[in-house]
């Protein structure tokens, strides 16, 4: 992979074939939209499957054939025979679906602006540059790159080329163990919190360093101890001394949760149980009763006894769905009104869904996600390694 001019080549949107919603779709009311979506679904029949991530709004998930976490939806996409897979989610999820589905299946992301900011924090070009510095700083070490599913296909491909793998929030610890059977160090991308939470779970908290790709010095990272105190800014050599090197990426939806929110909820609701997503900060995960992927959060609430109270530390649409789906359980947003929705997921507006479906009925494919063949092949290797672990 070539190292390019990072300043000029990085972009928020991975795909430049952004097709905007035509004017006539902008002001549909919910009743008309629902009728038109259902009519298009009936017309397309078995040629269509609609997937909805747990963070999508109600008006999307209620039209979805399958609702789930990013991993489950990729599996559903792989198992679907439908010619068209319309993905209610964000770009990296639609890319994974495209990689996993057959060549004659088309994956459509209703709005191409649904780009996860965290995936954009580790562009393959940047990682390639950092990799060169870190491996040069530790020439004797065998470093295994692991990327979270929340990353673009070119980064997954990079990890495959360097002997690494993909992980999800539910299997990160297994993938770390696999990596340490093969090498001496892990470079984990792009979510520093998931990486740190996993390192703690495996008892590796004494050997974590952070790599800040935005450091003005370019090459500097910051080593830090388990207590979170930071050492003096270190050069690549210092960072490369640690066993776990965390890329400095994060999800702004999950970083918002603080220990004070857990303290407050326990004070206001002494019977409350707290479950959070592992993209939350270390101290939040530690203070919670349970941490797990969106699927684990759904299962936990589904299995709760009537009358139990669960405070949820994740994207607000999922908390709202859980309140609707399980009225017998007392479901609370962990930080009340301050809980956020995901601005990338929000781009999948139901008017966009209406438009792409009606265009398919007319034989026109809009907002197609198509990963370049070589990149798809390599990214698939990294995903298959995960599935074998
Ligand atoms: P899951 O893989 O748990 O569905 O999470 C995806 C995500 O984007 C979390 O922010
Ligand atoms: Fe990305 Fe966070 Fe949104 Fe998940 S919730 S898609 S990690 S920005």
Work out the number of other CB atoms within 10 angstroms of the CB of residue 277: 28
The confidence score (pLDDT) of residue 233 equals 44
Chosen CATH of 11-115+347-373 out of 3.40.50.720, 1.20.1250.20, 3.40.50.10800, 3.90.1150.10: 3.40.50.10800
pTM summary value: 0.91
Residues ≥6 apart with Cβ < 8 Å to 364: none
Residue with CA closest to ligand 2 atom 3: 342
Please say if the pLDDT value at position 221 is more than 50: no
Which top CATH class is 119-247?
Answer: alpha beta
Render pLDDT for 302-350 as a digit per residue (tens, 0 to 9): 999 999 999 999 999 999 999 999 999 999 999 999 889 999 999 999 9
In the structure, which protein residues have their CB atom closer than 6 angstroms to any atom of ligand 1? 54, 69-71, 150, 168-169, 251, 277, 279, 293-294
The confidence score (pLDDT) of residue 13 equals 60
Please check whether the domain covering 258-334 is classified as CATH 1.20.1050.10.
no
User: How far, in Å, is the centroid of ligand 2 from the Cα of 232?
Assistant: 31
Could you tell me the residue ranges of all domains in the chain? 11-115+347-373, 119-247, 258-334
Same CATH topology for 11-115+347-373 and 258-334: the answer is yes
The confidence score (pLDDT) of residue 242 equals 93
Q: Ligand 1, from 96, 97, 150, 348: best to mutate by most atoms within 8 Å of Cβ?
A: 150
Q: Ligand 2, from 13, 14, 92, 116: best to mutate by most atoms within 8 Å of Cβ?
A: 116
Q: SS3 for 148?
A: strand
Give, in order, the Cα–Cα distances in Å from 41 to each of 20, 34, 53, 58, 77. 22, 11, 18, 17, 17
Render pLDDT for 251-300 as a digit per residue (tens, 0 to 9): 999 999 999 999 999 999 999 999 999 999 999 999 999 999 999 999 99
For residue 374 the two structure tokens come to 């070589």
The confidence score (pLDDT) of residue 19 equals 82
Render pLDDT for 194-217 as a digit per residue (tens, 0 to 9): 999 999 999 999 999 999 888 755
CB 253 within 8 A of CB 340: yes
For the CA of 344, the nearest atom of ligand 2: 3
């Amino acid at each position: 992979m070539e190292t390019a001019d990072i300043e000029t080549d990085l972009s928020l949107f991975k795909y430049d074939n952004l097709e905007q919603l035509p004017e006539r779709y902008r002001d549909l009311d919910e009743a008309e939209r629902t009728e038109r979506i259902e009519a298009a679904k009936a017309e397309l029949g078995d040629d269509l499957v609609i997937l909805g991530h747990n963070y999508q709004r109600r008006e999307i998930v209620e039209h979805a054939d399958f609702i789930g976490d990013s991993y489950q939806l990729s599996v559903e996409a792989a198992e679907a025979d439908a010619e068209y897979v319309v993905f209610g989610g964000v770009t990296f999820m639609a890319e994974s679906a495209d990689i996993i589905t057959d060549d004659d299946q088309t994956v459509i992301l209703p709005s191409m602006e649904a780009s996860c900011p965290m995936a954009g924090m580790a562009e393959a070009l940047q990682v390639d540059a950092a990799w060169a510095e870190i491996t040069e700083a530790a020439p004797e070490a065998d470093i295994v790159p692991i990327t979270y599913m929340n990353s673009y296909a070119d980064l997954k491909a990079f990890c495959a080329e360097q002997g690494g793998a993909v992980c999800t929030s539910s299997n990160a610890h297994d993938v770390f163990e696999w990596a340490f059977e093969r090498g001496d160090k892990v470079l984990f991308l792009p979510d520093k919190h998931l990486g740190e939470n996993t390192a703690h779970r495996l008892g590796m908290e004494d050997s974590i360093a952070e790599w800040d790709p935005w450091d003005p010095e370019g090459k500097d990272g910051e080593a830090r101890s388990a207590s979170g105190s930071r050492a003096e800014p270190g050069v690549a050599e210092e960072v490369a001394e640690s066993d776990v090197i965390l890329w400095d990426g994060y999800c702004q939806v999950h970083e918002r949760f603080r220990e004070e929110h857990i303290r407050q909820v326990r004070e206001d609701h002494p019977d409350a149980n707290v479950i959070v997503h592992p993209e939350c900060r270390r101290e939040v995960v530690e203070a919670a009763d349970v941490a797990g992927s969106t699927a684990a959060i759904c299962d936990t609430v589904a299995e709760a006894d009537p009358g139990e109270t669960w405070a949820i530390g994740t994207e607000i649409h999922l908390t709202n769905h859980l309140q609707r789906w399980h009225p017998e359980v007392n479901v609370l947003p962990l930080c009340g009104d301050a809980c956020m929705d995901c601005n990338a997921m929000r781009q999948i507006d139901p008017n966009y869904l209406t438009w792409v479906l009606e265009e398919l009925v007319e034989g026109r494919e809009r907002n197609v996600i198509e990963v370049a063949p070589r990149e798809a092949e390599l990214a698939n290797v990294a995903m298959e390694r995960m599935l074998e672990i």
